[in-house]
Every structure is written in C-alpha cells, then in structure tokens.
C-alpha cells in the first residue's frame, strides 16, 4: 500500500524523490525502486484498462453523438513536457518553444481507447496519426467506422474532420448566430461531440500534475509515466 501511495503522490503532486523520502521515511534508493515497481505493474494492465471501442448505434439517444452513426470516438494531439538531452532538444521543441512530446490520444465518450507516445514536439499531428495507423499493433479503424478529428488532420477513410472555412468551435456558436447552412450545422454538431477528447485530455492533466509541469524525467521514462496516467484515468472513470 505504501508503494502505491508513494507512486500516486508523485504523479498527483509532481513531487521530487527527496520530498517523498521525508514524507514516507524511506531511503532514496527505496523510493526510486518502488516507484518503478508500481509503474511497471500499472503498464502491465494496458490491455485490461484501455477501453474497447464501441460504435454509436443508429438508435442512440445521446444528443451529442446520435448524429454520428458508427463513430467510435474522437482523437487529438497534446503536448506534454519532457526532459530531452541537449542533442535532442531541437527535435523536441514545439512551435511554442517548449521541450515536449506530441502525444496522440484517442477516446470514446469518456475513456481512452489508444495512446501513442514518444513523438517529438516538433512533429505535426498528421504525421503522428499516420504512424499510429501504420504500426503493427497501432490504431485500427474497422470498415465502415470512423473517429472524429479537427481540421489539423486530413479528412480520410476512417477519420472525419469538419468543414474548413466555416465556424467550428463551440464558443463561436454560443456567442454568434445560429447555423444557417448545412456545413455550419454539421460543424456545430461535430465540435460538440469531438470536444470529448479535449475534456478527457484536460481531466487527465488536471488530475496528474506530473503531466502539467516541467519534468526531470528523461523522455523514455516520462512517456511510460504518461501511459500509466492514462490507464489510471480509465480505472478511476
């Protein structure tokens, strides 16, 4: 129980090992070893904790999703801070100048279905998605089904993006006139449903401070931590 408590404390508060040593009265070696034991155990639950995709049925009464028969969920990329080696910092520098990894998140109406980790912050979202669908154990989209995405991705088989050049974000519809064309109406419904991935990522970062702040963990370890946080998010949900 102490091992799990230390692990969750570090993820939830982004606490350094020396603080954990004082709070739990453990040596630095014990803190580091037990952190990795729990991290490895959490990652072993990968298949059990990732949600299986379920398509929206034709008779769905969910007001946000009933417009999108056979939709499996939504996807988007998000940037999370990493501690890259000096020789790698150029590749991991995002367009905002932060040293980050570009994480692809795919979710259902409330839980993560798939996550792809490790891409540099300089990588564009479309490239990360192409990698996800080309991997042997990557993101799979059954025939006749699809995921929603924003206009940063291409509209292609298995992926439904909004109309470009039209109002899209929900705030634009809340504070503007009602949609008066089929394209604007579609974008309004698309935005309302696709917003689930933004809320899910927001909840993930809100729950685990280690994903919001600059980290001292190197890229490989931080990516494993991101994966564990997503799995724990699903478990809590």
User: Mind giving me the DSSP string for 62-96?
Assistant: -TTTTTSTTEEEEEEEEEEE-B--GGGHHHHB-TT
pLDDT number for residue 179: 79
Q: What percent of the chain has pLDDT over 90?
A: 68
pLDDT number for residue 97: 92
pLDDT number for residue 17: 80
Q: Label residue 172 exposed, middle or buried (CB < 10 Å: 0-12, 13-18, 19+).
A: middle
pLDDT number for residue 229: 96
Residue 234: band (very low, low, confident or very high) from pLDDT cuts 50, 70, 90: very high
Average per-residue pLDDT for the chain: 91
Is pTM beyond 0.75? Reply is yes
Q: What percent of the chain has pLDDT over 70?
A: 98
Average pLDDT over every residue of 8-26? 86
Q: Check pLDDT > 90 for residue 87.
A: yes
Q: Check pLDDT > 90 for residue 213.
A: no
- Report residue 46 as tokens: 């990968």
Q: Check pLDDT > 80 for residue 50.
A: yes
Residue 107: band (very low, low, confident or very high) from pLDDT cuts 50, 70, 90: very high
Considering only CA atoms, which of 215, 168, 219, 158 is closest in space to residue 195? 168
Under DSSP, the state recorded for 104 is: E
Q: Check pLDDT > 80 for residue 69.
A: yes
Between β-strands 146-148 and 71-81, what pairing exists: parallel, antiparallel or unpaired? Answer: parallel
> What pLDDT digit, counting tens, does each position of 120-140 carry?
999 999 999 999 999 999 999
pLDDT number for residue 124: 93
pLDDT number for residue 237: 80
Task: Report which of residues 201 and 172 the model is more confident about.
Answer: 201
Q: Label residue 25 exposed, middle or buried (CB < 10 Å: 0-12, 13-18, 19+).
A: exposed
- Reduced to 3 states, what is the DSSP secondary structure of residue 57? coil
CA dihedral 215, 218, 223, 228 (to 10 degrees): -70
């Amino acid at each position: 129980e102490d091992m799990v408590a230390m692990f969750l404390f570090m993820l939830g508060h982004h606490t350094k090992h020396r603080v954990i040593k004082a709070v739990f009265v453990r040596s630095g070696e014990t803190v580091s070893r037990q952190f990795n034991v729990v991290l490895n155990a959490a990652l072993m639950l990968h298949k059990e904790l990732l949600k299986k995709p379920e398509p929206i049925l034709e008779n769905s009464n969910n007001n946000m999703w009933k417009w999108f028969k056979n939709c499996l969920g939504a996807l988007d990329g998000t940037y999370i801070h990493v501690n890259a080696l000096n020789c790698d910092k150029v590749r991991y520098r995002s367009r905002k100048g932060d040293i980050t990894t570009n994480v692809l998140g795919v979710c259902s109406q409330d839980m993560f279905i798939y996550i792809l980790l490790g891409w540099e912050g300089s990588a564009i979202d479309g490239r990360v998605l192409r990698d996800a669908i080309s991997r042997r154990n990557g993101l799979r989209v059954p025939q006749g089904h699809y995921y929603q995405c924003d206009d940063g991705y291409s509209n292609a088989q298995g992926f439904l993006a909004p109309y470009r050049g039209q109002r899209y974000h929900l705030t634009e519809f809340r504070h503007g006139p009602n949609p008066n064309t089929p394209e604007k109406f579609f974008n309004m419904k698309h935005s309302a449903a696709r917003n689930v991935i933004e809320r899910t990522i927001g909840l993930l970062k809100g729950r685990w401070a280690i994903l919001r702040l600059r980290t001292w963990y190197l890229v490989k370890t931080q990516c494993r931590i991101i994966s564990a946080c997503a799995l724990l998010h699903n478990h809590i949900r």
